[in-house]
């Protein structure tokens, strides 16, 4: 039995999030420019989106560009933005055909105008698709997201739109970029790094974490299946005992 056949389609993560790490190291190992690593990483993005849609995963969030990534060399940032625009244009027919709805979270106002325009176009074209929601975290930082939520809630309290006593988890959830997404069930990070890197800090409170040594351009269908099988072999207790959840 191959890995895909071992997956229980009735026990998939409703929300899978991935920190796509290792493009630069992949390129360096092969003697290529870092930008070539990013271009090859797009193939893994396409493969992962396609397989998640086929398996029936409802929500997939990809960490595509962090707030800290703006500090990278200017040439690399410009190339990343060009790759993003090119990919969005190329993938729109696939999104439409497979019922994939595109969302984007982060401080999108910092993105180049051409990227914002292309992103808005694909989001608008796919807004009624219901098979799977693909969320791109772009110019995203979880701390900035939480600060923004605190400011919005504080404004509402100050102006008597809500009371301090009303503030609970649901109120905070409603003021996050991900307000219409479920909590993350499984967080995957490639390249062997074992840290969260300011990604969905609130949303991964009870996530299963999966780290793999595989660099992102080498993340194939088989690597996705391994992550899902590991998830399915774990016991998720949410603070309860094993006996309570059985």
With contact defined as beta carbons under 8 Å apart, do 66 and 198 qualify? yes
3-class DSSP state of 10: coil
Q: Which residues contact 230 (CB under 8 A, 6 or more apart)?
A: 208, 210
Among this protein's residues, is 21 annotated catalytic?
yes
Sheet of 59-66: strand order equals: 100-105, 132-140, 59-66, 15-19, 186-189, 208-211
Number of CB atoms found within 10 A of residue 239's CB: 6
- Dist CA 123 CA 227 (whole Å): 28
The catalytically annotated residue of 69, 98, 173, 198 is 69
pLDDT at 245: 61
Among this protein's residues, is 69 annotated catalytic?
yes
DSSP secondary structure code for residue 67 in this structure: G
Number of CB atoms found within 10 A of residue 177's CB: 22
φ, ψ for residue 172, nearest 5 deg: -65, -45
pLDDT at 80: 94
Q: Which residues contact 180 (CB under 8 A, 6 or more apart)?
A: none
Report mean pLDDT in 10-residue bins for the chain, 246 residues: 93 98 96 93 96 97 96 93 94 95 97 95 97 98 98 97 96 98 98 97 98 98 98 82 66
- Dist CA 155 CA 63 (whole Å): 29
Q: What residues are paired with 76 via a beta bridge?
A: none
The catalytically annotated residue of 2, 8, 10, 21 is 21
Helix (H), strand (E) counts: the chain = 9, 6
φ, ψ for residue 148, nearest 5 deg: -60, -40
């Amino acid at each position: 039995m191959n890995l895909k056949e071992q997956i229980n389609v009735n026990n998939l993560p409703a929300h899978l999030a991935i920190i796509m790490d290792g493009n630069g190291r992949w390129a360096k190992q092969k003697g290529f420019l870092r930008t070539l690593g990013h271009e090859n990483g797009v193939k893994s993005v396409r493969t992962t989106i396609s397989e998640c849609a086929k398996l029936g995963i409802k929500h997939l969030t990809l960490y595509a560009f962090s707030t800290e990534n703006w500090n990278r060399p200017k040439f690399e940032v410009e190339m990343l933005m060009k790759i993003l625009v090119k990919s969005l244009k190329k993938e729109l027919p696939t999104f439409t055909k497979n019922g994939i709805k595109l969302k984007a979270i982060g401080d999108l106002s910092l993105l180049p105008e051409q990227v914002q325009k292309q992103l808005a176009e694909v989001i608008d074209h796919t807004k009624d698709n219901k098979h799977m929601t693909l969320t791109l975290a772009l110019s995203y930082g979880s701390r900035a997201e939480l600060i923004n939520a605190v400011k919005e809630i504080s404004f509402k309290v100050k102006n008597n739109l809500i009371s301090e006593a009303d503030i609970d988890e649901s109120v905070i959830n409603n003021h996050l970029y991900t307000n219409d997404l479920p909590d993350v069930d499984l967080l995957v990070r490639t390249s062997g790094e074992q840290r969260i890197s300011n990604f969905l800090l609130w949303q991964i409170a009870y996530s299963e974490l999966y780290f793999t040594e595989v660099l992102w351009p080498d993340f194939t269908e088989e690597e996705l299946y391994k992550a899902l099988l590991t998830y399915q072999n774990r016991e998720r207790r949410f603070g309860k005992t094993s006996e309570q959840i059985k």
